Amino acid sequence: EYSCEYGSLKFYALCGVGGVLSCGLTHTAVVPLDLVKCRMQVDPQKYKSIFNGFSVTIKEDGVRGLAKGWAPTFIGYSMQGLCKFGFYEVFKILYGNMMGEENAYLWRTTLYLAASASAEFFADIALAPMEAAKVRIQTQPGYANTLRQAVPKMFGEEGIWAFYKGVAPLWMRQIPYTMMKFACFERTVEALYKYVVPKPRSECTKGEQLVVTFIAGYIAGVFCAIVSHPADSVVSVLNKEKGSSASQVLMRLGFKGVWKGLFARIIMIGTLTALQWFIYDSVKVYFRLPRPPPPEMPESLKKKLGLTE
């Protein structure tokens, strides 16, 4: 019934396609909310709250102004999704095989954390140039209105460094976020099937399985937003200002400053993460990819622990 073998090249490639669709589409859909969040972080005097931020933006730039930065968002997050989801599957299988079946079960949370951190390391290198362009377009009035205007201007001013100076703060923001996103999702799915869903996953319809995916994705998203928000504030300010370092920005913002815009981000990231997992899992269903059930204790381990009859 499957279109390919678990862990084959075709499997990884189609997982990458799922990642492109899940990250590219969802991040582009929430560009208006992201734009207001970025502006609240870099200019809190002018953009005091979510609703105030929306009204000021519409008053100054019209409704079209809310879509500023959609092109770098779509391209950047599609690239990021390809690497994030594609490499996660690669590293999960690779590290799992290195650990062996029993350890991969006992230390599965560590396995999810290590695989997702490794995948995100590469995903951020793919995302960084477009993220830098997006923040310039969204937060510097009059700098550039489109990606075509922003890229040559940035390259002319600072060379290739302009596109990669935000990669370290991106790692600070995205790696903890992604570790939480994948590990929390995997363990929440496991818990939902164990304690909430009244029947095993094999007896659930595809639709019921996707509902579980969506709920687990939303729960993971709320935790993701909280864990990564301080670094997100630093990234927004850093890309707006020339010549500042991440530590200088952190010192200046202080403890209260780094939590500005958290409520907006919880709504955005919760919905975003739930939709991403839903789209990703739907792509797996559509292409008939193998979707292993939640992990169960290997028979050999049950014997060792005296749990078998």
- Of the chain, the end-to-end C-alpha distance in Å amounts to 33
Q: Which of 120, 127, 114 is nearest to 86 (CA)?
A: 120
Distances (CA, A) of 299 to 98, 185, 226: 19, 25, 38
Along the 309 residues of the chain, how does pLDDT read in single tens digits? Answer: 899 999 999 999 999 999 999 999 998 988 898 888 888 878 888 988 888 999 999 998 899 888 888 999 999 999 999 999 999 999 999 999 999 999 999 999 999 999 999 999 999 999 999 999 988 888 887 888 889 999 999 999 888 888 998 898 889 888 988 999 999 999 999 999 999 998 988 899 999 999 999 999 999 999 888 887 888 788 777 766 666 777 888 888 887 888 887 887 888 788 889 999 999 999 999 999 999 888 988 888 888 888 776
Q: Which element (helix H / strand E) includes 188?
A: helix 167-191
Q: Which of 129, 127, 153 is nearest to 140 (CA)?
A: 153
State which amino acid sits at residue 270: G
In a domain, 4, yes or no: no
In a domain, 1, yes or no: no
Question: What's 57's DSSP letter?
Answer: H
In a domain, 143, yes or no: yes
Q: Which element (helix H / strand E) includes 213?
A: helix 206-240
* Prediction pTM value: 0.82
Q: How many angstroms separate the CA atoms of 168 and 239, rounded?
A: 12
In a domain, 307, yes or no: no
CATH of the domain at 13: 1.50.40.10
72 with 11: CB under 8 angstroms?
no
Q: Which domain holds residue 212?
A: 9-296
Q: How many angstroms separate the CA atoms of 134 and 77, rounded?
A: 11
In a domain, 302, yes or no: no
